Amino acid sequence: MSSIAERIAQIRKELPDTVRLIAVTKQVSVAAMREAYAAGVRDFGESRVQEAASKQAQLHDLTDITWHMIGRLQTNKAKKALELFEWIHSVDSLKLAQRLNQLATQASCKPKICLQVKLQSDPNKTGWTVPELLNDLPALNQCDRLDIQGLMTIPPLGLNDVEILNFFNQTRNLASNIQEQHWSNLQMQQLSMGMSNDYSLAVQAGATMVRLGRILFGERPTPPQATASESNW
């Protein structure tokens, strides 16, 4: 089996320069994260606030990492998340956005945000449906302490490649439609989409950030401790 550094080099060769590689390190050891860092990775994605806090403490000597929150965020962990993460990809409701906005005002920070959308109804995923998102745009536009940068999505399980590509293309089109509405506080340049199984399709559809875990670090040891409804994968 190839090393983490070799796998990173291989993926980088495949990705256009414009696509940001986020190494997803949930359940990955700090030692493996150091290997990824040594291979040039500076963007790390975590899905749990507690786990991220512990890893950041152990990696505090690596001062130029950008931390990305990609997992479901409960409002009661929003404050901690703002302290730990520069990016939050998984903002999945107006309520959470408004809470983050309030906390960011108090903390004088301006977190970078992706709005998590689901283009098909999917009981396993949170996020806005298209009509819900369109309805919430005026209120989101008022969250002026949030640096809203684009959309994040995860396709439902069980789609074939054509359907996945179509799903990602629809997400890109939704971002373009919102961009064309010229909201003063909503940027739609970023598309956070693509995981180990489907990142090449996401890149074809215009992803700007791919979130890769298993393809870099191998299979995760166990299913998450989370319940099915909490799980994002």
The residues that touch ligand PLP, with contacts defined as CB under 6 A, are 24, 26, 47, 70-71, 154, 195-197, 211-215, 232-233
Q: Produce one character per residue of 121-140: b if its CB has 16 or more CB atoms within 10 Å, e if not.
A: eeeebbbbeeeebeebbeeb
User: In the complex with ligand PLP, which residue's Cβ is closer, 42 or 214?
Assistant: 214
Minimum Å gap between C-beta 161 and ligand PLP is 16
What's the CA gap between 116 and 167, in Å, rounded?
14
User: In the complex with ligand PLP, which residue's Cβ is closer, 99 or 211?
Assistant: 211
Minimum Å gap between C-beta 49 and ligand PLP is 14
Minimum Å gap between C-beta 2 and ligand PLP is 16
- Which residue of the chain is nearest ligand PLP when measured via CB? 213
Minimum Å gap between C-beta 196 and ligand PLP is 3
Please say whether the beta carbons of 68 and 46 come within 8 A.
Answer: yes
Minimum Å gap between C-beta 92 and ligand PLP is 11
Minimum Å gap between C-beta 192 and ligand PLP is 8
User: In the complex with ligand PLP, which residue's Cβ is closer, 135 or 204?
Assistant: 204
Minimum Å gap between C-beta 144 and ligand PLP is 26
User: In the complex with ligand PLP, which residue's Cβ is closer, 26 or 118?
Assistant: 26
User: In the complex with ligand PLP, which residue's Cβ is closer, 112 or 211?
Assistant: 211
What's the CA gap between 73 and 167, in Å, rounded?
24
Largest Cα separation within the chain, whole Å, is: 50
User: In the complex with ligand PLP, which residue's Cβ is closer, 66 or 102?
Assistant: 66
Please say whether the beta carbons of 69 and 89 come within 8 A.
Answer: yes
| H or E element that contains 210 | strand 209-212
User: In the complex with ligand PLP, which residue's Cβ is closer, 80 or 214?
Assistant: 214
The token duo for 25 is 């390190």
The token duo for 101 is 């906005």
Q: Which residue is it, tokens 């809203």?
A: 148
The token duo for 5 is 């550094």
